[in-house]
């Protein structure tokens, strides 16, 4: 087989080919790809045929009315996604740098989300518009929402329990990740395969603050399992402290799944097989409807937030 990494390959493939391949990978049907890209079905088929001619091997297989990527097609689609993503980011950077934004944006955020979500967002924002300013306030959702409603805050970021519409407020989902029950590696429950909620209710629990939405969600989770909320509790939002507490005492806690997996890989924690029923798995941001069009700085910050949550970071629970 001829080498494909030559000038013919590099110069022959166009953005139309890449977009068609990625869309086909996701949608499987030519008709859906045609609709998504705003081109005719024959045009999609032509682009795929041209791509196969350039590559020199099939990139799709057909099964009835659906198209599936070959192993080479799958690998090429992965590279296509990366290339298109880089172009999207380049377009974003140029748009941001030429926007002339020079105002300020005030952000309210729950303390568990702030350390890992905001640094990348703020770094991108400041790189795009160095002359704009950011101020950050931490707190609970119930404390921060009134500040958003009165205009003291431009944006609110929080984990959400039972999402609902808020009058005069727009919202956007940022990421979703299961929350799991964790224990120190030497915890008695860590050695038990068949763990039930009734088995863990009497242990010490590290939980969010009593007046927070997160704590209300945890209490509701215990109630859904026919139990009263734990009475032996430690209210803490400090990740470092909570991990150390789990190490030195037979306490239980809650962590996002990926963070729990990372700690388990280091031998520090174990995850208990308990169903948390999508407890606080979703994070969202909120802003006033009347501010988005008027506040160009807020609009840019939201775009930066979207950019940095395409690949969700590890977020501690709180």
Candidates 298, 295, 301, 310; CA nearest to 88 is: 310
Q: Measured between alpha carbons, how far is 133 from 72 in angstroms, rounded to an integer? A: 46
Per-residue pLDDT, 2: 47
Choose among 96, 84, 89, 94: nearest CA to 37: 84
Query: Which residue ranges does the chain devote to CATH 3.40.190.10?
Result: 99-168+283-308, 179-272
Q: Copy the structure tokens of residue 223.
A: 């109630």
pLDDT for the residue numbered 313: 43
Q: Cβ distance 80 to 26 under 8 Å?
A: no
Q: What is the pLDDT of residue 101?
A: 66
Question: Could you tell me where in the chain the CATH 1.10.10.10 domains are found?
Answer: 7-95
pLDDT tens string 262-296: 899 999 999 999 999 988 888 999 999 988 777 88
Supply the pLDDT for residue 63. 78
CA distance 207 to 279: 13
pLDDT of residue 148: 94
Residues in the chain: 318
- Residue by residue, pLDDT tens for the chain (318 residues) are 445 455 667 778 888 898 888 888 888 888 888 888 888 989 988 998 998 888 888 998 887 767 888 999 899 988 888 888 777 766 666 666 666 666 889 999 987 678 778 999 999 898 888 888 899 998 888 889 999 999 899 999 998 888 888 899 999 999 888 889 999 999 999 888 889 999 999 999 999 888 888 899 999 999 999 999 999 999 987 888 999 999 999 999 998 887 888 899 999 999 999 999 988 888 999 999 988 777 888 988 998 898 888 654 444 444
| Distant-in-sequence, close-in-space partners of 192: CB < 8 Å, separation ≥ 6 | 199
- Euclidean distance between CA atoms 254 and 259, whole angstroms: 10
Domain 179-272 fold is D-Maltodextrin-Binding Protein; domain 2 (3.40.190)
Instruction: Answer for the pair 204, 251: CB distance below 8 angstroms, yes or no.
Output: yes
The CATH class of the 7-95 domain is mainly alpha
The correct CATH number of 99-168+283-308 out of 3.40.640.10, 3.40.190.10, 2.40.30.10, 3.30.70.380 is: 3.40.190.10
Q: What is the pLDDT of residue 213?
A: 85
Q: What is the pLDDT of residues 46-72, one digit of tens each?
A: 998 998 888 888 998 887 767 888 999
- Cα gap 93→85, rounded to integer Å: 12
**3-state SS assignment for residue 91:** helix
User: Which pLDDT belongs to residue 219?
Assistant: 95
Number of H helices, E strands in the chain: 13, 12
pLDDT of residue 83: 83
What are the Cα distances from residue 178, in Å, to 17, 112, 175, 181, 209?
36, 15, 10, 10, 20
């Amino acid at each position: 087989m001829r080498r494909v990494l030559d000038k013919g390959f590099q110069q022959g493939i166009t953005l139309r080919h890449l977009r068609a391949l990625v869309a086909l990978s996701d949608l499987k049907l030519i008709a859906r790809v045609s609709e998504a890209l705003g081109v005719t079905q024959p045009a999609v088929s032509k682009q795929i045929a041209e791509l196969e001619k350039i590559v020199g091997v099939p990139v799709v297989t057909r099964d009835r009315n659906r198209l599936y990527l070959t192993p080479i097609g799958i690998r090429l689609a992965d590279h296509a996604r990366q290339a298109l993503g880089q172009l999207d980011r380049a377009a974003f950077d140029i748009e941001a740098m030429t926007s002339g934004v020079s105002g300020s944006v005030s952000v309210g955020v729950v303390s568990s989300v702030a350390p890992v979500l905001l640094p990348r967002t703020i770094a991108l924002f400041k790189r795009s518009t160095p002359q704009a300013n950011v101020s950050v306030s931490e707190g609970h959702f119930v404390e921060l929402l009134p500040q958003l409603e009165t205009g003291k805050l431009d944006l609110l970021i929080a984990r959400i329990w039972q999402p609902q519409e808020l009058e005069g407020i727009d919202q956007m989902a940022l990421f979703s990740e299961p929350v799991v029950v964790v224990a120190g590696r030497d915890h008695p429950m860590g050695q038990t395969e068949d763990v039930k909620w009734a088995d863990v209710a009497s242990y010490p629990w590290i939980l969010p603050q009593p007046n927070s939405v997160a704590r209300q969600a945890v209490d509701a989770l215990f109630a859904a399992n026919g139990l009263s909320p734990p009475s032996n509790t430690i209210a803490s939002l400090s990740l470092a402290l909570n991990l150390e507490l789990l190490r030195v005492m037979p306490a239980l806690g809650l962590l996002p799944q990926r963070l729990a997996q990372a700690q388990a890989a280091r031998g520090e924690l174990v995850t208990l097989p308990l169903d948390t029923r999508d407890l606080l798995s979703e994070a969202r941001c909120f802003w006033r409807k009347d501010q988005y069009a008027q506040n160009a700085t807020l609009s840019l910050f939201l775009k930066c937030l979207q950019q940095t949550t395409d690949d969700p970071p590890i977020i501690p629970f709180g």
